[in-house]
Structure 1
Amino acid sequence: MNKWLLLTVISLLSLLLAACGGAASGEKSSEDYTAENPLIIKFSHVTAIDSVKGQAADHFAQLVDEKTEGKVKVEVYPSSQLYGDNDELDALASGNVHMIAPSATKMVKIDRRWQFTDMPYLFEDEEHVQEFFESEAAHDLLNSDQLSANDIKGLTFWPNGFKHMSNNKRPLVTVEDFKGLKFRAQAGQVLEAQFESLGAGSATIAFGETYAALQQGTVDGAENPYNNFDTMKFYEVQPYLSSTQHGRVDYVIFVNKTFWESIPEDLLAPVEEALAESTTYATELAEEENEKSLENIKTSGVVEFYEMTQEERDALKEALQPVYDEFTEAITPELIESIQSLK
């Protein structure tokens, strides 16, 4: 009797565990989430709500809500509300946030190749940039072993635009005009070398602290796409802007790998579909908003805008050649050559 009772109990436990399936292993299915109890994706970024990135992030959140019927909710935290430049990457790796959209060069902490966007005059125009974003080389960066080792996965690129130099001292036309000025820069040795090649200094300052640094005279200038210059109101503290078009600020969507791969497949599919549509939206928006911001800058009455000629840009490019001499090996000749070959 005891023997059969034991066997019966064991059989019942086995059936119960089998019925629970994923629940026994701690996994969840889409049925565990509802509009009242949604899966939350925390999305942190550092730019203003009305910036290209800010608008694209909000668009993504809206699409996710629609496509999952409220079962997945993207909580967007703009303007460094949750994490700033210096700590959002660590927050992602530790799972404190699930998604970030830093500028590509921020990933130098993990892989020095991501400084490719800082290499002066590497990209010719917007079409060239898009060709790279869709290339095998870009795919390899997004899925590198270095990212995986930090529990991070790259999903896609959101373009922002070409960078242009601004300052509060004088118009920037020739290489000589840069000498003695100090510029705000993102972290990275490439940018330090860039300004050094122009006879200028640099200071690594978080994006959210740049306005105050310019206002207080900690730095004299900065480099930004037109839209960042406009939406962050840098024109209030920098009356001189030149269309140097020397480098890029482009964003990359990164997610916490463990979290992302734990999303039930039938929910992940519409989320990824929403991201693909948001990427198209971000690409079109970046071009529109930069054009709009340039017009705002030109008609502001407070900015002295200088449209550089190709010859003047070529002179800057020649002065910046030492950056290639110093960093080609770190970024790898293969990556640089693959980008150049797409022109």
Structure 2
Amino acid sequence: MKIANRMRRQLLATVGIMAGALAMPMVALAQAPIVIKFSHVVADQTPKGQGALKFKELAEKKFPGRVTVQVFPSSQLFGDGKELEALLLGDVQLIAPSLSKFDRYTKKIQVFDLPFLFDDIAAVDAFQAGPKGQELLGSMVNRGLRGLGYWHNGMKQMSTNQDKLVRPEDVKNLKFRIQASDVLEAQFRALNASPQKMSFSEVYQGLQTGVVDGQENTWSNIYSQKFFEVQKTIAETNHGVIDYMVVTNAKWWDGLPADIRKGLGEAMVQATAHANKLANDFNEADRKKIAEAGKAKIQKLSKEDVAVWRKSMEPVWKKFEGDIGRDLIDAALKSNK
């Protein structure tokens, strides 16, 4: 009887030890931080790079030990052509591609490519913060993508190797480099110019050798890529916007604990404000540097000039209205007020 009791106590002790051993990994697993990989294709010192680092700082401050954000700049993990696929596969949790990358997921995003739709970056801000802009962030959930915020690169300016760039007729028959976008192609065809798709890295040489006569870009891109050195005139058109959307995997995001999801959303709002202020500051500073360099003339446009450009672009708006939606176009125009 005593032997049986002793054996039973030993068995219970062994079971207890085994249960404890099994429980320890479970506890460790429960306490492991949520790791968020934020991959992007530009350098840390850019507004986008700084926005990503600000998000990391804010998220880890809100959830010490519970959330770890790993930022991978300069295509360290994935380049432009692979990052969306990587996000959908769960290999990364956050990316911030150009808005033009999303037209294969929703044609509505093409509203940002429509020329001379927004007066300035303040109008873009108003639209993005408004109901229609916020709706767009959720417009790709059925394709596995959820937008968390818009980050600025800035407003586009138009440049050419000609001495005059004031009205639409000044670009007739000129060759312009464009991003791969149906809207941008239609934009230059409506101006009786020739759109040429060309990678960003090839633009300087294309301008220098005359393969293309002009291009459209933000002040910061025109300065950093030295386009102003191989163009005669830069018209301050503000005719379009180059922005990014910070996106996440919708299934992953919806599976986060509610308090984590809420806190990360708040961190993204703050990081967005930080990145966008930097982008605006960069563009203002780089415009000044271009003017001081004296190599390209900066051509200002009057309200009358802009009205003529806008009128010439209305057929482009009409062409894409069915895909984008008249409601979005009207909301964008109202943001100018």
Deviation of 1:65 after TM superposition, in Å, equals: 4.1
Distance (Å, rounded) in 1 between the aligned partners of 2:226 and 2:209: 15
Q: Letter of the aligned partner of 1:95 in structure 2?
A: G
- Aligned pair count? 322
Whether the aligned pair in 2 keeps the contact of 1:242 and 1:305 (CA below 8 Å) is yes
Cα distance change, pair 23–182 in 1 and its aligned pair in 2 (3 A): farther
Q: Letter of the aligned partner of 2:123 in structure 1?
A: H
Residue 108 of structure 1 corresponds to 103
TM-score by length of 1: 0.81
1:121 lines up with 2:121 in the alignment: no
Deviation of 1:188 after TM superposition, in Å, equals: 1.8
Select which of 123, 129, 135 maps to 1:134: 129
Deviation of 1:298 after TM superposition, in Å, equals: 0.7
Question: CA RMSD for the aligned pairs?
Answer: 3.3
SS at match of 1:341: helix
Residue 176 of structure 2 corresponds to 183
Q: Letter of the aligned partner of 1:130 in structure 2?
A: D
**Per-residue Cα deviation, 1:133-170 (whole angstroms, up to 9, x for no partner):** 122212221112xx223321111112332211023344
Deviation of 1:277 after TM superposition, in Å, equals: 1.1
Q: How does 1:180-259 map to 2 (within 5 A)?
A: 180-215=173-208, 217-259=210-252
Flag structure 2 segments of 5+ consecutive residues without an equivalent: 1-11
TM-score by length of 2: 0.82
Q: Which protein is bigger by CA-based radius of gyration?
A: 2
Cα distance change, pair 272–278 in 1 and its aligned pair in 2 (3 A): same
SS at match of 1:246: strand
Q: Letter of the aligned partner of 1:54 in structure 2?
A: G
Q: Letter of the aligned partner of 2:322 in structure 1?
A: E
Q: Letter of the aligned partner of 1:32 in structure 2?
A: A
Deviation of 1:263 after TM superposition, in Å, equals: 4.4
Residue 97 of structure 1 corresponds to 92
Deviation of 1:196 after TM superposition, in Å, equals: 0.6
Flag structure 1 segments of 5+ consecutive residues without an equivalent: 1-8
Select which of 71, 75, 92 maps to 1:75: 71
Whether the aligned pair in 2 keeps the contact of 1:53 and 1:282 (CA below 8 Å) is yes
Whether the aligned pair in 2 keeps the contact of 1:105 and 1:115 (CA below 8 Å) is yes
Distance (Å, rounded) in 1 between the aligned partners of 2:264 and 2:176: 39
Residue 8 of structure 2 corresponds to none
Whether the aligned pair in 1 keeps the contact of 2:161 and 2:214 (CA below 8 Å) is yes
SS at match of 2:243: strand
**Per-residue Cα deviation, 1:43-62 (whole angstroms, up to 9, x for no partner):** 223x4544332332233233
Residue 4 of structure 1 corresponds to none
SS at match of 1:172: coil
Q: Letter of the aligned partner of 2:244 in structure 1?
A: Y
SS at match of 1:243: strand
Cα distance change, pair 87–161 in 1 and its aligned pair in 2 (3 A): same
Distance (Å, rounded) in 2 between the aligned partners of 1:331 and 1:289: 31
Select which of 301, 305, 319 maps to 1:326: 319
Residue 39 of structure 1 corresponds to 35
Whether the aligned pair in 1 keeps the contact of 2:177 and 2:198 (CA below 8 Å) is yes
